[in-house]
Copies of this chain bind each other. A is one copy, B any other.
Amino acid sequence: MSTIQDVARHAGVSVSTVSNVLNGRAERMRKETLERVQSAIRELKFQPNRLAQQLKTGQTSLLGLLVPSMTNPMYGFMAREIEKFAQEMGGLRLLIGSTYRDREKESAFFDDLLAHGVRRVIVISSLADERHFETAVGNGMSVVSYDRGATPGRRSRVAHVMPDNQLAAQLATRHLIEHGHARLAFTTVAGLTMSRSAKIQGFTAAAEHARVHGEVLDGGPLNEYGETVIAQVGRATAHQIARMRERPTGVVALNDLMAMGLMAGLRECGLAVPQDVSVVGIDGMPVAGLTNPALTTVCLPVREMAQAMVARALNRERGRKDVVFAPSLLRRESVAAPPTRQRSARVPRAEELLS
């Protein structure tokens, strides 16, 4: 690896001239000098040491990305879009980390980013407490938080980008109602993040508005493996649903992964989707279109949100710091009219289940 010194020597100029070339201050020198430096750079295959640049300038070409878990395909999907925009808009690489929605892990990651000189972070999270973000901003970071709004009343220096989660749940719920469903459920996991609360509100509001029965089913906690387990929770919730005397005929799932778990679980109990139970997801992640039946879901505009997040992380779009994006319903096959009578189900015992 050659250094700026090598280039300077090779071109017969001083390091500052080379530095000027590197930093686009070519107008300060003779064309001839510029060319000499450029060819020296080429010949030596010189790549400026980012570490040294960063130490000097305090600016990294790295973008921190915190996701709850890389095992939920939705976050892989989002990471991909974010990566693309980060490259295109700012030449930034991704320093990624999983938080499993754990405050400790999230803080530790922030500390590491700071120590690495990373000044821009996108956090896909939704922990209620945002104070460590503010601390980070205080340390000069540009923080973008996904999936939760600013705490009302306190003005925040953190940018917020999110889908309208309440609307998402409403769209899903209304879709079921339009198909004639009158006994609805919203399935979630333990723990109220902001996005989960918003979805529950949307669901409840839509059900109440149509004067239809709507209940919230909490499938319990996620373990350290985080998001994969969300599908397992969905499966368990399906068993719970199958056991109910007055079974809901339409279910809105917290997200697509949970919906997939739900569908698998319902099937295990001998219940058909959508003939016995209709299911709607929220997310619109690509793999969810491959299920049988194909999952009807509320799509989030991932590309647009990713672009907005990167723009804010780069401190473009100074004006409107917070943005909410509208989701849209994607009709596929997992919703139909409710059954005329409730079919009896059979919940398998643990040992009968496939892994």
Whether B49 lies near A117 (C-beta < 8 A) is yes
From A15-23, A74-82, A314-322, give the one contacting chain B.
Answer: A74-82
With A and B bound together, what is the CA distance between A293 and B268 in angstroms?
Answer: 10
With A and B bound together, what is the CA distance between A109 and B117 in angstroms?
Answer: 20
From A91-99, A187-195, A205-213, give the one contacting chain B.
Answer: A91-99
Whether B1 lies near A139 (C-beta < 8 A) is yes
From B50, B261, B289, A117 is in contact (CB under 8 Å) with B50
From A51-59, A165-173, A177-185, give the one contacting chain B.
Answer: A51-59
A95 proximity list for chain B (CB < 8 A): 62, 93-96
A261 proximity list for chain B (CB < 8 A): 290
Whether B93 lies near A112 (C-beta < 8 A) is yes
Chain A residues 329 to 343 lying within 8 A of chain B, measured CB to CB, are 330, 332-333
With A and B bound together, what is the CA distance between A346 and B112 in angstroms?
Answer: 56
Query: Is there a chain B Cβ closer than 8 Å to A354's Cβ?
Result: yes
Separation in Å of the A115 CB from the closest CB of chain B? 5
Separation in Å of the A298 CB from the closest CB of chain B? 14
Separation in Å of the A355 CB from the closest CB of chain B? 7
Interface flags, A225-269, vs B, CB<8A=1, else 0: 000100100000000000000000000000001001101100100
A292 proximity list for chain B (CB < 8 A): 263-264, 267, 291-293
Query: Is there a chain B Cβ closer than 8 Å to A114's Cβ?
Result: yes
Chain A residues 109 to 129 lying within 8 A of chain B, measured CB to CB, are 109, 111-112, 114-117
Whether A49 lies near B115 (C-beta < 8 A) is yes
A286 proximity list for chain B (CB < 8 A): 71, 228, 231
User: CB within 8 Å of B: which residues of A?
Assistant: 1, 47-52, 54-55, 60-62, 69-73, 75-77, 79-80, 83, 93-98, 109, 111-112, 114-117, 139, 228, 231, 257, 260-261, 263-264, 267, 286-287, 289-294, 330, 332-333, 354-355
